[in-house]
Structure 1
Amino acid sequence: MPEVDGQNRHCGYLDIDEMDTKKKFQHRYLIVDRKKGLIQWFIDKPMKASDEDKPCGIINIGYITKVDVASKAKVSYCFVINTPFRPYYVQTINQVELEEWVEIINDASKITTPNSRDPTGSQTSLDASIDPEQTFTYRTEIVGGVVVKKKCTLDGQVVKQDEPTSPTSLTHPDQHFQFPNVGSKIIKQGWAIKQGHVRKNWKRRYFILKQDRFAYYKSDQDKEPIRSIPINEILAARAEDEMKPRDNLLLLATTDKIYYIQAETEDDMYEWVDAFCNAININR
């Protein structure tokens, strides 16, 4: 059953499908940390801040779009945490525990749902669900056809995340540490044409996609990029066939912008789509 620790975080042991197979669940200790806006899980209950307490997985609460009972799962007492990247299936030991965890995580992500144990079916009000120590809420937007929840202040201003929340860089409750950087390998590089965000003109740029970030340059000889984007800020990449008359067009959705990139050939465009999908999967 979920418990509350000394830092006012909901914690407990659950079985989590880490590889998104809905077949192999791992027994993990899960922590819902509202203050940091993170859900993390560990092999065992962390006893102190140390390298041995690195989380096995992490979810940015701001990316959660819905938490609900996984009615199509073939295991009992299972719920699903939906994000733009992938669903996370979690199994509890009984129905009561399942309902409690769904309510806790929905409340943390500011999604209010009817309490199934309340015969009136009434919903918890938004004001009642706000943590007094928490000074932000979330806003749902559609970015490149992807549902995204952005952290905002109570007056509606989008909060810029200071720390990336991918597995390559995490903030521990008691100390800051970084996993070894494994993102130096180049996945794909080459010339393409990108649409500007202000004048909407198209310019030829040199693109380099690595395991941990994506950057574009004025020239393949330049050392400093025009812009560099961490992979954990990329939400989706797909072929864009609705924007005419441009052919071989790629749509790249990030947490704050939509990029339109025209490849030289159709094959090259699909290679970029596959490369971005691989990079996103590596950083899950």
Structure 2
Amino acid sequence: MPEVDGQNRHCGYLDIDEMDTKKKFQHRYLIVDRKKGLIQWFIDKPMKASDEDKPCGIINIGYITKVDVASKAKVSYCFVINTPFRPYYVQTINQVELEEWVEIINDASKITVPKLFFHPAPLELFKMFAAHLAKDASIDPEQTFTYRTEIVGGVVVKKKCTLDGQVVKQDEPTSPTSLTHPDQHFQFPNVGSKIIKQGWAIKQGHVRKNWKRRYFILKQDRFAYYKSDQDKEPIRSIPINEILAARAEDEMKPRDNLLLLATTDKIYYIQAETEDDMYEWVDAFCNAI
């Protein structure tokens, strides 16, 4: 059962699948350290603080997207810690312990929103906040805009406004893609059609785990892959806001030139044709995100 040590950290013995096979679980001593923002596990309970410099494994709490019961795993009393890079399967000894650990880790990884966002604030405070966000992004806080919609001539028009609600005058006419009949759903302009990168690569399947050659296209608003570069309809299309991270897979290296793409519901393993191409894809995804 989880316990609390002298540093107010939840800890205890669990069985962890370190290699992500759902078959070989190792008996480890796990510590949830909120101050460090880490979950660490050791072969045995550390006796001294210096021993904690050599854990068997580490999870950055900030990377955890969800912790839940692993209903699809063929292991009793198993839960999964989901991160953008891989899932970590953990087995407990009973249902009560499982539920306690799920609650502890979910609570440690939850995001708290400052109270500022729940109360109306004066314009100057919003400008200060915008200036803070723009500090390293070369954005003028005085040019921070919002939008509002109006019915003009029987159509819905999206107008750019300043923070104080003043409509910004536009030199160019409103794009037809931002207009729609009031009986239809409102549609935002299609501003993400530019292709950032495209090319052939090999993708691992999610069910059979086989590798197939696919044609990939990354645009400003979405990522898609096709059976052929001549196909018009993709096998799958993923909105860019569902992509969490991309990186070169340097740890296990089951294949050369392998990159990992983490989305809100899946992790994709993609093998590029060359090492340079792999890093180009990683940079392209990072820029798009």
Length-normalised TM-score, structure 1: 0.44
Report the CA distance shift for 1:136/1:255 in structure 2 as closer, same or farther (over 3 A).
farther
* Conservation of the 8 A alpha-carbon contact between 1:143 and 1:253: no
Which region of structure 1 is more displaced relative to structure 2, 249-258 or 147-156? 147-156
The CA deviation at 1:152 is 28
* Conservation of the 8 A alpha-carbon contact between 2:131 and 2:141: no
The CA deviation at 1:50 is 3.3
CA distances 1:57-101 after superposition (whole Å, capped 9, x unpaired) = 000000000000000001100000000000000000000000000
Report the CA distance shift for 1:66/1:265 in structure 2 as closer, same or farther (over 3 A).
closer
Counterpart secondary structure, 2:277: helix
* Conservation of the 8 A alpha-carbon contact between 2:84 and 2:263: no
CA distances 1:164-184 after superposition (whole Å, capped 9, x unpaired) = 999999999999999999999
Report the CA distance shift for 1:78/1:175 in structure 2 as closer, same or farther (over 3 A).
farther
C-alpha distance in structure 2 between counterparts of 1:5 and 1:102, whole Å: 18
Report the CA distance shift for 1:266/1:175 in structure 2 as closer, same or farther (over 3 A).
same
Report the CA distance shift for 1:256/1:201 in structure 2 as closer, same or farther (over 3 A).
same
Q: Is residue 159 of structure 1 aligned with residue 165 of structure 2?
A: no
Larger radius of gyration: 2
C-alpha distance in structure 1 between counterparts of 2:188 and 2:55, whole Å: 11
CA distances 1:134-179 after superposition (whole Å, capped 9, x unpaired) = 9999999999999999999999999999999999999999999999
What does residue 206 of structure 1 align with?
215
CA distances 1:33-78 after superposition (whole Å, capped 9, x unpaired) = 0111100000000000335861000000000000000000011000
CA distances 1:223-250 after superposition (whole Å, capped 9, x unpaired) = 9999999999997448999999999999
Q: Unpaired runs of 5+ in structure 1?
A: 113-120, 280-284
Report the CA distance shift for 1:148/1:251 in structure 2 as closer, same or farther (over 3 A).
farther
Identity over aligned pairs, percent: 98
Which region of structure 1 is more displaced relative to structure 2, 194-203 or 255-264? 194-203
Which region of structure 1 is more displaced relative to structure 2, 179-188 or 73-82? 179-188
CA distances 1:182-233 after superposition (whole Å, capped 9, x unpaired) = 9999999999999999999999999999999999999999999999999999
Which region of structure 1 is more displaced relative to structure 2, 33-42 or 138-147? 138-147
Report the CA distance shift for 1:248/1:18 in structure 2 as closer, same or farther (over 3 A).
closer
* Conservation of the 8 A alpha-carbon contact between 2:42 and 2:55: yes
Counterpart secondary structure, 2:141: coil
C-alpha distance in structure 1 between counterparts of 2:284 and 2:80, whole Å: 27
Report the CA distance shift for 1:255/1:125 in structure 2 as closer, same or farther (over 3 A).
same
Counterpart secondary structure, 2:143: coil
Count of matched residue pairs = 271
* Conservation of the 8 A alpha-carbon contact between 2:244 and 2:262: yes
C-alpha distance in structure 1 between counterparts of 2:27 and 2:179, whole Å: 21
* Conservation of the 8 A alpha-carbon contact between 1:49 and 1:175: no
The runs of at least 4 aligned residues of structure 1 exceeding 6 Å deviation read 121-235, 238-267, 270-279
Report the CA distance shift for 1:29/1:212 in structure 2 as closer, same or farther (over 3 A).
farther
Q: Give 1:49-60 correspondences, 5 Å limit.
A: 49-50=49-50, 54-60=54-60
* Conservation of the 8 A alpha-carbon contact between 2:84 and 2:267: no
Instruction: Identify, as 1 or 2, the structure richer in helix.
Output: 2
* Conservation of the 8 A alpha-carbon contact between 2:30 and 2:39: yes
CA distances 1:259-281 after superposition (whole Å, capped 9, x unpaired) = 999999999459977999999xx
Report the CA distance shift for 1:50/1:272 in structure 2 as closer, same or farther (over 3 A).
same
C-alpha distance in structure 2 between counterparts of 1:41 and 1:49, whole Å: 14
Counterpart secondary structure, 1:137: strand
Counterpart secondary structure, 1:276: helix
Q: Is residue 269 of structure 1 aligned with residue 278 of structure 2?
A: yes
* Conservation of the 8 A alpha-carbon contact between 2:179 and 2:187: yes
Report the CA distance shift for 1:243/1:62 in structure 2 as closer, same or farther (over 3 A).
closer
* Conservation of the 8 A alpha-carbon contact between 1:35 and 1:134: no
Report the CA distance shift for 1:183/1:150 in structure 2 as closer, same or farther (over 3 A).
closer
* Conservation of the 8 A alpha-carbon contact between 2:156 and 2:186: no
Counterpart secondary structure, 2:285: helix
**Structure with larger RCO (C-alpha < 8 A, sep 6+):** 1
The CA deviation at 1:14 is 0.1
* Conservation of the 8 A alpha-carbon contact between 1:58 and 1:166: no
Report the CA distance shift for 1:144/1:27 in structure 2 as closer, same or farther (over 3 A).
farther
The CA deviation at 1:110 is 1.3
Report the CA distance shift for 1:105/1:151 in structure 2 as closer, same or farther (over 3 A).
farther
